Amino acid sequence: MNFPTSFFSPLPKLLLVFAIAFSFFGGINKASAQAEKKPKGYKKYKDYNYKEKWRKDDTAIYKPTDTVIFTQVPLTKALPECTLGNWITDAIKAEVSSAKKIRVYICMISYSSIGVDFVAPGPILQKDISQIIPYKNQLKIIRISGKNLRSICDGIIANKGIPLSGMQIEIEGSMAKNILVNGQPINEHLIYILLINDYLLKDRNLGEILSNQNTTPLWMDLRTTLAQAAKKSMELGITINAKLTDRIKYLD
């Protein structure tokens, strides 16, 4: 067969290359779109670079009637320290440390993020977790110096306490004394990793100093993290036996 000379000119060749490339990459994009199907139990969110990612949706992980953990003792909400706050902060501190493979020294959450005053001994269901933590507060990591951590203590005193894990504060008058982090005196030159919920950034006594620190979003929310921590504990045969341990203690 004889082809016209113009058929072999550079322009038709270029068009042919574009057609092949379009077909190839179009197939890849189509496969990517199919692979982008929503995984079961996940939902989309945008990270701080506005890139879409998947994360676990706790409403899909557990049914409302699922038992997530048992408590041996009544859990109460109060200031300066309470068994509800101790359980929640201990649980999410351990869960985030394990999930993110980082050493979280201290965890504190806003008192108002706890939605109930009392939990009776017995099973705690997923729907109970949704009442204990009624709003999906996002969790954040803050890297803070020991010196600035002392200023955090002033805000805690002004709030008359806070749900707290990993730190002990003795208060005399309006001054913080004998501040310990995991049983050790504060080192003003050490950088501590502090885990908080984002509501704490709006706190009138703590918000300003926390907002001025090195903050990293975790893209984990308080309610889901608590439910996951509780479920893992139950699978290991661990129940809640939270006690008051003088995390915040008034000396007078």
* pLDDT tens column, 91-113: 999 999 999 999 999 999 999 99
Residues 22 and 82 in one domain: no
- If you count them, how many residues does the chain have? 252
172: in domain: yes
| Amino acid code (one letter) for 250 | Y
What's the confidence (pLDDT) of residue 18? 54
Number of domains in the chain: 2
- Using the predicted structure, report yes or no on whether residue 36 has a pLDDT greater than 50: no
2: in domain: no
Token output for 128: 């109970």
Residues 28 and 112 in one domain: no
* pLDDT tens column, 6-22: 444 555 555 555 555 55
For 40, list phi and psi in degrees, rounded to 5.
Answer: -65, 130
Full-model pTM: 0.77
What's the confidence (pLDDT) of residue 26? 52
Contacts (Cβ under 8 Å, ≥6 apart) of 236: none
Q: ∠ CA 24-26-29 to the nearest 5 degrees?
A: 115
- Using the predicted structure, report yes or no on whether residue 31 has a pLDDT greater than 50: no
What's the confidence (pLDDT) of residue 50? 42
What's the confidence (pLDDT) of residue 191? 95
Residues 74 and 29 in one domain: no
Cα gap 168→190, rounded to integer Å: 17
Q: What is the mean pLDDT of residues 1-5?
A: 50
Residues 71 and 196 in one domain: yes
3: in domain: no
What's the confidence (pLDDT) of residue 23? 53
4: in domain: no
Residues 28 and 53 in one domain: no
Helix, strand, or coil here: 178? strand
| Number of other residues whose CB lies within 10 A of the CB of residue 15 | 10
Residues 136 and 222 in one domain: yes
Across the chain, mean pLDDT equals: 84
On whether the CB atoms of residues 47 and 109 are closer than 8 A, the answer is no
For 112, list phi and psi in degrees, rounded to 5.
Answer: -70, -15
| Amino acid code (one letter) for 61 | I
Residues 21 and 76 in one domain: no
Contacts (Cβ under 8 Å, ≥6 apart) of 230: 68, 69, 91, 124, 129
Residues 136 and 193 in one domain: yes
- Using the predicted structure, report yes or no on whether residue 162 has a pLDDT greater than 90: yes
What's the confidence (pLDDT) of residue 30? 46
Q: How confident is the model at residue 177 (pLDDT cuts 50, 70, 90)?
A: confident
Residues 159 and 238 in one domain: yes
Q: Which domain holds residue 88?
A: 42-250
